[in-house]
């Protein structure tokens, strides 16, 4: 896909519940942690048809959110107990360059 193909961008918001992994020990209620995280994903424009968020998109968003969580807790082994999507927000139909606000050589509208 080139940098001029328009895509529908969404932001997925989620609430993740996790515990530190301790060998041979069941976590207590006090050890349960939570995090609110966001992830952006896109759906290809299908000739003007309304975009559909499929199971594949949800899976990619979930993977991205869990990777973010593991990066934030680097050095601590964790077990994700639950991930609940709390919202999906439509960001717009745009090219990757427009989304990243990367000016094209002939585009004077980007600031």
pLDDT at 106: 56
Over range 69-96, report the average pLDDT: 93
47 located within any domain: yes
pLDDT at 108: 56
Over range 65-93, report the average pLDDT: 94
Pairing of strands 33-44, 78-94: unpaired
Does pTM surpass 0.85? no
59 located within any domain: yes
What residue numbers bound the domain in which 69 lies?
A: 8-91
Model confidence pLDDT, tens digit, residues 16-75: 999 988 777 777 888 899 999 999 999 987 776 778 899 999 999 999 999 999 999 998
**Cα separation of 38 and 105, whole Å?**
31
34 located within any domain: yes
pLDDT at 26: 79
97 located within any domain: no
What is the total count of domains within the chain?
1
pLDDT at 4: 80
Task: Measure the N-to-C terminal CA separation of the chain; round to a whole number of Å.
Answer: 24
Over range 92-104, report the average pLDDT: 83
DSSP code for 46? B
Q: Are 11 and 85 in contact (CB under 8 A)?
A: no
33 located within any domain: yes
pLDDT at 103 over 80: no
- What Rg, from alpha-carbon coordinates, does the chain have? 18
């Amino acid at each position: 896909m080139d940098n001029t193909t328009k895509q529908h961008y969404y932001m997925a918001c989620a609430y993740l519940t996790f515990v530190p992994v301790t060998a041979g020990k069941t976590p207590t209620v006090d050890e349960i942690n939570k995090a609110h995280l966001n992830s952006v994903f896109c759906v290809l424009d299908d000739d003007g048809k309304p975009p559909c968020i499929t199971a594949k998109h949800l899976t990619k968003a979930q993977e991205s959110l869990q990777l973010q969580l593991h990066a934030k807790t680097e050095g601590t082994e964790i077990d994700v107990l639950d991930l609940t999507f709390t919202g999906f927000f439509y960001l717009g139909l745009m090219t990757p360059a427009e989304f990243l606000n990367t000016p094209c050589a002939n585009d004077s509208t980007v600031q």
